[in-house]
Amino acid sequence: MISSVRTMLTCHWSARRIQRYLDADPSAPLTPDEVERLEGHLAICEKCAEVCADHRLLRRRFARWSQARLPDPAMVARVRLAAHRVIAEDGL
């Protein structure tokens, strides 16, 4: 029972620090002791390690998304023109 409560509290503590750990934000750094404690917990807690992996995956996906290129403006203009023609032909 006590072990379950301790694990629950450690997971709660860790969950509140995972994002700061991954961001390495200089305005909200974790102390070396906190980093060591968090890394130790992530090594043994599958649930928290999965949360950390999910955050890393989201970061990679957002980074890739932000680098996505916009469609060619000429192609967009052609599609709009085609759509206007279809609408005009249908009398909408």
| Whether the Cβ atoms of residue 30 and residue 41 lie closer than 8 Å to each other | no
Residues 11-36: tens digit of each pLDDT = 999 989 998 999 887 888 999 999 99
> Please, what is the Cα angle at 32 between 50 and 49, to 5 degrees?
5
Give the residue ranges of the chain where pLDDT is below 70: 1-3, 91-92
What's this model's pTM, rounded to 2 decimal places? Answer: 0.62
Identify the domain containing residue 33 by its residue range. Answer: 2-90
User: How far out from the chain centre does Cα 60 lie?
Assistant: 7
Q: Tell me the C-alpha distance between 5 and 19, whole Å.
A: 23
The domain tally of the chain equals 1
How many CB atoms neighbour CB 41 within 10 A?
Answer: 20
